[in-house]
Chain A
Amino acid sequence: MWNELFPNVVWDKIWAATTETLYMTAISVAATFVLGILLGLLLFLTSKGNIWENRVINGVIASFVNIFRSIPFIILIILLIPFTKFVVGTILGANAALPALIIGAAPFYARMVEIALREIDKGVIEAAKAMGATTTTIIWKVLLPEALPALVSGITVTAIALVGYTAMAGVVGAGGLGNLAYLEGFQRNNNDVTLVATVLILVIVFIIQFIGDFVTSKIDKR
């Protein structure tokens, strides 16, 4: 029955493309999470009235974040080709998509992290200082745990954006479901392939959203 409904769909290829998309998404989400939190923390801590208040460093990070956040992703991939070639050794395949995915998403997430940290009651940070906490303790035991629900819902949104980015990266040769939908589906006029690839991307997005919502509600004790 499946073969009659989807005459042009080769299920092995679909499976391989799905794995590639999941691979690109997983790695880039993990890297974005770490890098974004790092940048977000720096943005927050160096901002006015905070522990490491420093206008120069804050300005440098803020402009870096703003620049990479504003470049359209498809252009960012092209701009990063030399960099990708240098780091990964090739500009084709799932691994070659990773630098662009991470550099495109981390600044976006960093801003979300900064907002999440700013939402924390200043009084709580003051209380920790009054107890004699070091900055490291404040970061690990106050800032990150208190902002955690917002950090998780932020990475959920970012992860979904990243699924979209992987599809775009697919068009320029990174593989995955986007690549399949474009090359096998659109260009060869096999609408059934496009449909299956789209549905699979939707399923991935829904699963990510579900997991994100579930985790957020579990850890939010407010």
Chain B
Amino acid sequence: MITLSNVTKVYKAASGNVTAVDHVNLHIEQGEIFGIIGYSGAGKSSLIRLLNGLEKPTNGEVIVDGKDMGKISGKQLRQARQQIGMIFQHFNLLWSRTVRENIAFPLEIAGVPKEERMKRVDELIQLVGLEGRENAYPSQLSGGQKQRVGIARALANNPKVLLCDEATSALDPQTTDSILDLLVDINKRLGLTIVLITHEMHVIRKICDRVAVMENGKIVEMGEVLHVFRKPEQPITKRFVQQVTEPEETKEAMLHLLERYPNGKVVQLTFVGEAAEQPLITHIIRQFDLNVNILQGKISQTHHGSYGVLFVHLDGANEEIERALAFIRQQEVGVEVLANVE
């Protein structure tokens, strides 16, 4: 659906050239939810704007649905853009128009006759769950409702691709989740390809099939979300994964725990996919002569299965602990012994 080959975007500035996107290669399948994560200034905003021609690549090729977005212009570009919906962090609704009129705007641009326009708007209002708010102005809506209008507007012309530019970054956690659920629902129902950029790993974890990590204009790591969670390679990826799996105070808590449990071992277990759903701790207690003390744990649901981290304290004879660790490793569970205080 989307192919980027060797794409570079350089901005000319008085202080010298800035390379926002640096030799990026990317292929996104039809129907996929693809996430791009990075801190601000990583170049993800520029990258997503290359996909609908709001920015032109300095070098390389951007192919979306068979069209070279870097080359086409004028009418061809405008028509291609009607097939690519976009939603924004700050919603970018027209305050002078009601919900209904905002959603109708892209239809007006596409030249859809009035009667059909009204019908389509009604469908879209239902799709995003805004019944009853049709005639409200954006200033009368909450952030979540505004983003729903944004989504309805982006979907008006039945696009093949939906671009989400930090679409949930201005929303509170609960609203974020409801918007993400809506995006997944749309993805399933309409078979829409979704490309989203974000700085929140939570968003990637919750809805993405694959993720690309961006740093300094380059894609430094890319893969299935679950795989990236299991084996993050780059330091920046590890930091993003920690956003979701480890509460911030974990490190401090661990130091404290190591002091409190001078005997035995404190172990970090990492569960991915089906392993997360097995009663591992029960097996250990039944099969080995050990005391197992659960110190801290967290299981997160990703789009393709669960991912969990558990900190446990194993107490007992040394050999028994080693045997237990060997057993755990056989279960495809990641094991890391945090300290051996003997």
Is A66 in contact with chain B by the CB < 8 A criterion?
A: no
How far is B96's CA from A219's CA once the two chains are assembled, in angstroms? 8
A131 CB contact (under 8 Å) in B95, B97, B109:
B109
- Report the nearest A residue to B98, measured CB to CB: A221
How far is B7's CA from A86's CA once the two chains are assembled, in angstroms? 60
Q: Give the residues in chain B near A81, CB-CB below 8 Å.
A: none
How far is B300's CA from A207's CA once the two chains are assembled, in angstroms? 65
A146 and B94 within 8 A (CB):
yes
How far is B92's CA from A222's CA once the two chains are assembled, in angstroms? 13
- Report the nearest A residue to B88, measured CB to CB: A123
* Cβ of B6 to closest chain A Cβ, rounded Å: 24
B88 and A134 within 8 A (CB):
no
Is A49 in contact with chain B by the CB < 8 A criterion?
A: no
Q: Give the residues in chain B near A132, CB-CB below 8 Å.
A: 77-82, 106, 109-110
Is A157 in contact with chain B by the CB < 8 A criterion?
A: no
A-B contact count (CB 8 A): 66
Q: Give the residues in chain B near A134, CB-CB below 8 Å.
A: 78, 109
Is B67 in contact with chain A by the CB < 8 A criterion?
A: no
Q: Give the residues in chain A near B157, CB-CB below 8 Å.
A: 131
A130 and B137 within 8 A (CB):
no
Query: When each residue 92-110 of chain B gets 1 if its CB lies under 8 Å from chain A and 0 otherwise, what string results?
Result: 1111110000000110111
How far is B92's CA from A123's CA once the two chains are assembled, in angstroms? 5
- Report the nearest B residue to A125, measured CB to CB: B92
8 Å CB interface, B101-142 against A: 105-106, 108-110, 137-139
How far is B106's CA from A142's CA once the two chains are assembled, in angstroms? 12
A127 CB contact (under 8 Å) in B79, B92, B138:
B92
A148 and B109 within 8 A (CB):
no
Q: Give the residues in chain B near A133, CB-CB below 8 Å.
A: 78, 109
How far is B90's CA from A121's CA once the two chains are assembled, in angstroms? 10
* Cβ of B57 to closest chain A Cβ, rounded Å: 17
How far is B97's CA from A145's CA once the two chains are assembled, in angstroms? 9
Is B226 in contact with chain A by the CB < 8 A criterion?
A: no
Contact A129 B88, CB 8 Å, known A137-B109, A221-B96, A221-B139 = no
8 Å CB interface, A83-113 against B: none
8 Å CB interface, B51-98 against A: 52, 54, 77-82, 84, 86, 88, 90, 92-97
Contact A130 B54, CB 8 Å, known A123-B90, A137-B109 = yes
A130 CB contact (under 8 Å) in B86, B90, B95, B138:
B86
A126 CB contact (under 8 Å) in B54, B106, B137:
B54
How far is B142's CA from A95's CA once the two chains are assembled, in angstroms? 53
B96 CB contact (under 8 Å) in A123, A129, A137, A148:
A148
* Cβ of B14 to closest chain A Cβ, rounded Å: 13
B96 and A146 within 8 A (CB):
yes
8 Å CB interface, B209-224 against A: none
A221 and B95 within 8 A (CB):
yes
Q: Give the residues in chain A near B90, CB-CB below 8 Å.
A: 121, 123
Q: Give the residues in chain A near B106, CB-CB below 8 Å.
A: 131-132
How far is B93's CA from A146's CA once the two chains are assembled, in angstroms? 10
Q: Give the residues in chain B near A221, CB-CB below 8 Å.
A: 95-96, 137-139
- Report the nearest B residue to A130, measured CB to CB: B86
B79 and A145 within 8 A (CB):
no
B81 CB contact (under 8 Å) in A123, A130, A137:
A130
A130 and B139 within 8 A (CB):
no
Query: When each residue 169-210 of chain B gets 1 if its CB lies under 8 Å from chain A and 0 otherwise, what string results?
Result: 000000000000000000000000000000000000000000
Q: Give the residues in chain A near B163, CB-CB below 8 Å.
A: 130
How far is B205's CA from A99's CA once the two chains are assembled, in angstroms? 66
Contact A127 B88, CB 8 Å, known A146-B94, A148-B96 = yes
Is A141 in contact with chain B by the CB < 8 A criterion?
A: yes
B84 and A130 within 8 A (CB):
yes
A222 and B109 within 8 A (CB):
no
User: 5 closest pairs, A vs B, by CB?
Assistant: A132-B81, A132-B78, A127-B92, A123-B92, A221-B137
23 A-B interface contacts by CB (under 8 A): A124-B92, A124-B93, A126-B54, A126-B88, A127-B88, A128-B109, A130-B84, A130-B86, A131-B81, A131-B86, A132-B77, A132-B79, A132-B80, A132-B81, A132-B106, A133-B78, A134-B109, A137-B108, A141-B108, A146-B94, A146-B95, A221-B96, A221-B137
Known contacts A145-B97, A148-B96, A219-B96; 8 further A-B pairs (Cβ under 8 A):
A123-B90, A129-B54, A130-B52, A130-B54, A131-B81, A131-B157, A133-B109, A146-B96
